[in-house]
């Protein structure tokens, strides 16, 4: 059972046993702190459309950081 403050529901307030709580997962998604699987799929598609080229160390690090932010089940 997941805590009520980290719900998969796509809304800010989620019902609890004794009232309502704020869905922090929804807030994190809206702020761009985590990405969903659909965001990840769009990123992968855009990378495939780019021409393959030598990427710099900075670009590889940036991609690694972005990939670490993605939410995985």
47 and 18 share one domain: no
> What distance in Å separates the CA atoms of residue 28 and residue 7, rounded to the nearest whole number?
11
pLDDT at 48: 61
| Residue 69 clears pLDDT 50, i.e. is over it | yes
Give the pLDDT confidence of 17-67 residue by residue, as tens digits: 888 889 898 898 888 888 777 766 776 666 666 655 567 888 888 888 888
Q: Running DSSP on this structure, what letter comes out for residue 35?
A: B
54 and 69, same domain (yes or no): yes
Domain that includes residue 44, residue range: 36-73
- Count each helix (H run) and each strand (E run) in the chain, helices first: 3, 2
What is the pTM assigned to this prediction?
0.49
Q: Give the total number of structural domains in the chain.
A: 2
The H or E element that residue 13 is part of is strand 13-16
């Amino acid at each position: 059972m997941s805590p009520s403050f980290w719900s998969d529901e796509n809304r800010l307030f989620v019902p609890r046993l004794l009232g309502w709580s704020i869905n922090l997962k929804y807030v994190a998604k809206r702020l761009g702190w985590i990405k969903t699987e659909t965001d990840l799929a769009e990123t992968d598609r855009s990378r495939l459309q780019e021409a393959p080229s030598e990427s710099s160390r900075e670009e590889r690090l940036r991609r690694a950081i972005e990939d670490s932010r993605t939410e995985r089940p």
